Amino acid sequence: MRKVQFYGAISIDGYLATKDNRLDWLFQTSGADEAPTKTFMQQVDTAIMGRHTYEYTMEQTTDQLINPFNPDTQSIVMTSAPHPGDDHTQFTNADVTELVQELRQKAGQNIWIVGGAGILMPLLAANLVDEMFIQIAPVILGSGIPLFTTIDHQQRFELVATNQYGQLAEVHYRKQSGAKGE
């Protein structure tokens, strides 16, 4: 079965981006180029994100690819206003948990959860996230777009590894064996 993996960076105080969706604080942090992003991205062929993450990424990239290390990656953009996509991008308002359950049953590589709490939290609540790779930048933003919001139950992961890439600290967590929903 395909793994569902979150891979992303946050500030020390748990924000993915500033309130106006900026990531300059992250790009000013040395070490991102040392992280094994390429290895991770070569193992995924599906990326699920919200509309804001998709639009920001398209504004920032010249090649218009979510995953430059696997150009055939299918991007699924969760939006309240779906519209026709293209060969590599699907826009949908489907329930993200049902979508991921269906994708896990299909052949393919791992599924990358990109972006914030709107996508991640329903998947955590449904116990559908197998691994999290969280890179922490040494900056406190004070406010912004959080990675985590409230959840109605505790969920425990096991620490697989910690790594340092320049000024980024990365923690790799895996869902504990025998966790609810397995």
pLDDT digits (tens, 9 = 90+) for 136-178: 999 999 999 999 999 888 889 999 999 999 999 999 999 987 6
Lowest mean pLDDT among 4-8, 94-98, 150-154, 160-164: 150-154
| 3-class secondary structure, 148 | coil
**What is the rounded average pLDDT of the residues 23-41?**
89
Which pTM value belongs to this model? 0.91
Q: β-strand 89-92 against 110-113: which pairing, if any?
A: unpaired
Tokens for 162, please give them: 């910690």
CA dist., res. 99 & res. 138, Å (int): 34
Residue 52 clears pLDDT 70, i.e. is over it: yes
Q: If you average pLDDT over residues 18-39, what whole number do you get?
A: 89
The pLDDT, as a whole number, for residue 64 is 64
The residue type of 112 is W
Residue 175 in any domain: the answer is no
Say yes or no to pLDDT of 104 above 60. Answer: yes
Separation CA 71–CA 99 (nearest Å): 22
Is 160 a member of any domain?
Answer: no
Does residue 64 contact residue 25 with C-beta atoms inside 8 Å?
Answer: no
Q: Which residues pair with 15 in a beta bridge?
A: 146
The residue range of the domain holding 99 is 4-151
Residue 36 belongs to some domain of the structure: yes
- Whether residue 33 lies inside any domain: the answer is yes
CATH number for position 59: 3.40.430.10
- Indicate the SS3 state at residue 58: helix
| Share above pLDDT 90 across residues of the chain, in percent, rounded to a whole number | 67
User: 52 vs 92, 105, 142, 168, CA distance in Å?
Assistant: 14, 27, 21, 24
pLDDT in tens, 36-49: 889 999 999 999 99
Residue 52 within a domain = yes
- Tell me if 112 is assigned to some domain: yes
Strand residue runs (E) in 74-175: 74-78, 89-92, 110-113, 131-137, 145-146, 157-165, 168-175
Partnered with residue 92 across adjacent β-strands are 78
Structure tokens at 71: 């150009």
Does residue 166 sit within a domain? no
**Domains in the chain, number:** 1
The amino acid at 28: Q
| Residue 162 lies inside a defined structural domain of this protein | no
What's the average model confidence in pLDDT over 104-118? 93
